[in-house]
């Protein structure tokens, strides 16, 4: 299924989040379950299926990682290969996140063993420092996300000028290798953010 076509959106790497949301509400409003609850059963089932499809399409396209994976699948006709290679320009962040999380874990192990009230106070202050470090690292990751979003926006012009969908020349005209790299970085960003948030929560106890 082409989620871009389903939501009447152009097939592009970058989409405006607010416009996408408005389009979803416009298309899904008439088939929302609250609107069709009194319809005949067949009509209700059809509307519910349509709403579910639109909702799934919206959830896919609003997240950059999911949108890029879907776009790559549409252009290639298959999913990208599942490789573990670190995308260019992300090695420093990869190392920093890994080291910071390991160090934070070591602190959490140390904290769990402490029973002395005095030491607990000292560890509370160190815990605050670790929380600040993790938040600062998350800000750096967010900066990388914004940098990639800006690049996706510039790539839209390439898609807009590419041969039409179905043309034999289309794939060669699109920077799909770079798009796949960006998709993989977004995947790392999502994973890093989860790892950081998990440790921030643990530090709050």
Q: Which domains does the chain have, with CATH numbers?
A: 3-62 (1.10.287.110), 91-203 (no CATH)
Task: Determine whether 168 is exposed, middle or buried from the number of CB atoms within 10 Å of its CB (0-12, 13-18, 19+).
Answer: exposed
DSSP state of 166: T
pLDDT of the chain along its 205 residues, tens only?
A: 999 999 999 999 999 999 999 999 999 999 998 888 888 888 999 999 999 999 999 999 999 999 999 999 999 999 888 777 788 889 999 999 999 999 999 999 999 999 999 999 989 999 999 999 999 999 999 999 999 999 999 999 999 999 999 999 999 999 999 999 999 999 999 999 999 999 999 999 8
* CA distance linking residue 50 with residue 60, whole number of Å: 15
DSSP state of 205: -
* CA distance linking residue 170 with residue 165, whole number of Å: 7
């Amino acid at each position: 299924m082409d989620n871009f076509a389903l939501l009447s959106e152009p097939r592009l790497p970058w989409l405006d989040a607010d416009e996408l949301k408005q389009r979803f509400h416009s298309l899904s409003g008439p088939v929302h379950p609250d609107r069709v609850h009194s319809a005949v059963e067949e009509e209700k089932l059809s509307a519910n299926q349509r709403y579910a499809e639109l909702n799934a399409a919206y959830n896919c396209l609003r997240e950059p990682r999911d949108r890029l994976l879907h776009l790559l699948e549409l252009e290639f006709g298959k999913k990208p290969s599942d490789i573990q290679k670190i995308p260019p320009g992300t090695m420093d962040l990869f190392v920093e996140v890994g080291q910071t999380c390991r160090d934070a874990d070591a602190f959490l192990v140390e904290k769990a063993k402490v029973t002395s009230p005095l030491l607990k106070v000292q560890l509370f202050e160190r815990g605050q420092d670790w929380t600040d470090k993790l938040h600062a690292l998350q800000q750096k990751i967010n900066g990388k996300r914004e940098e990639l979003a800006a690049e996706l926006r510039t790539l839209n012009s390439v898609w807009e000028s590419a041969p039409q969908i179905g043309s034999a020349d289309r794939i060669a005209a699109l920077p799909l290798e770079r798009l796949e790299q960006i998709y993989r970085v977004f995947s790392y960003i999502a994973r890093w953010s989860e790892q950081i948030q998990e440790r921030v929560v643990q530090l709050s106890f």
